[in-house]
């Protein structure tokens, strides 16, 4: 039970805060302190309202009585407080919290991706257009992701176990691979995909060696599209995208998740043998919100938008309704 202590109009401070949180919450899915922009706007609105309240209190206390300013006696200046703190100082405090959340991006960010145990260590550059490639290391060992270009330009990035790192590349042709710390090749791609000339370009180097470069197209111009791609560094972890819109509501229980035909909710399944491009060529990208690996399933979906959740399974597991059900329950309730 929450107990509030206030005097006079001090009770308006929490009322302004909860009112701001409620109204601004319609624009955001995440209503926690991890969401810096959301909390920043909540405290900004609260600060403005409380400071206006403080100025009105000051004006009323200093206003002359009806008998005239020359004969008026000063009005008693009762304290308007919340938890013994004057409302003016609450206005300053909420203004400071507003600045903090806008600058910090939220408390607890970057957040760890629980359940799937994947952590995004995004490294984004300013130049446009770029394509985001998420390199997923589902193994128990640290690996290097490898990006090679025709002509010899190479790039390596160390990625810890059970994490993924988001790197940006220019549209073009690349060799993707995974190496262990002793520089031994762990995985490249499945050979059967090399026949697809829309995805792979056969290049014969000067020394006679033949390589198949993966074609990476430009991102779509629509900002709301999902243009990220995924590279599974061991070629064994399959990814699936599930429509979880029906369980994006508050007060959900395990009963709401059990007994659902989750196989019918699968949007796409992805073979880790090739670079994975979710929703590529789909006309419904702008009507959905895609949650990357490890992201929490929200308690509310944006109006008119579907919610697609990316998750992963070992290739040797048969994906049934019950398997998906336990994965979702573990994500929400564990």
pLDDT at 269: 92
Q: What is the mean pLDDT of each run of 10 residues along the chain (334 residues)?
A: 65 84 81 81 87 81 59 57 79 86 72 50 58 94 93 89 93 94 92 90 85 90 82 92 94 93 94 89 68 91 88 90 94 89
Question: Going by C-beta distance under 8 Å and a sequence separation of 6 or more, which residues neighbour residue 250?
Answer: 299, 300
User: Do 305 and 287 form a contact (C-beta atoms < 8 A)?
Assistant: yes
pLDDT score for 187? 93
Round to whole Å and give the CA distance between 188 and 175.
8
Which one, of 56, 41, 49, 43, lies nearest residue 93 by Cα? 43
pLDDT tens digits for 88-136?
A: 888 888 888 888 888 877 776 554 444 455 555 555 445 558 899 999 9
pTM of the model: 0.60
Measured between alpha carbons, how far is 28 from 320 in angstroms, rounded to an integer?
Answer: 32
Map 73-110 to HEC letters: CCCCCCCCEECCEEHHHHHHHHHHHHHHHHHHCCCCCC
**So what's the pLDDT on residue 67?**
53
Q: What is the pLDDT of residue 107?
A: 75
CA atoms within 13 A on the CB side of 311: 24
């Amino acid at each position: 039970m929450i107990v509030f202590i206030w005097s006079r109009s001090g009770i308006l401070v929490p009322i302004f805060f909860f009112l701001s949180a409620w109204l601004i919450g319609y624009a955001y899915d995440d209503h926690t302190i991890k969401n810096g922009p959301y909390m920043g706007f909540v405290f900004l609105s609260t600060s403005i309202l409380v400071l206006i309240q403080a100025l009105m209190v000051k004006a009323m206390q200093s206003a002359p009585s009806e008998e005239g300013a020359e004969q008026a006696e000063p009005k008693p200046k009762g304290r308007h407080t919340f938890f013994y703190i004057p409302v003016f100082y609450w206005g300053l405090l909420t203004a400071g919290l507003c600045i903090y959340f806008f600058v910090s991006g939220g408390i607890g960010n970057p957040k760890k991706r629980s359940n799937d145990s994947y952590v995004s260590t995004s490294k984004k550059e300013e130049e446009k257009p770029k394509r985001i490639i998420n390199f997923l290391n589902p193994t128990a060992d640290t690996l290097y992701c490898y990006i090679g270009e025709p002509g010899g330009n190479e790039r390596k990035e160390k990625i810890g176990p059970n994490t993924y790192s988001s790197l940006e590349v220019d549209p073009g042709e690349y060799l993707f691979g995974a190496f262990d710390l002793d520089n031994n090749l762990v995985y490249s791609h499945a050979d059967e995909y090399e026949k697809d000339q829309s995805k792979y370009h056969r290049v014969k180097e000067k020394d006679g060696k033949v390589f198949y470069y993966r074609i990476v197209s430009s991102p779509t111009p629509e900002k709301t599209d999902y243009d990220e791609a995924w590279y599974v560094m061991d070629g064994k972890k399959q990814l699936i995208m599930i429509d979880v819109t029906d369980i994006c509501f508050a007060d959900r229980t395990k009963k709401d998740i059990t007994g659902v035909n989750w196989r019918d909710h699968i949007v796409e399944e992805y073979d880790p043998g090739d670079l994975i491009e979710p929703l590529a060529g789909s006309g419904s990208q702008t009507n959905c919100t895609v949650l990357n690996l490890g992201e929490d399933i929200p308690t509310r979906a944006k109006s008119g938008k579907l919610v697609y959740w990316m998750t992963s399974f070992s290739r040797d597991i048969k994906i049934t309704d019950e398997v998906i059900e336990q994965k979702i329950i573990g994500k929400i309730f564990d």
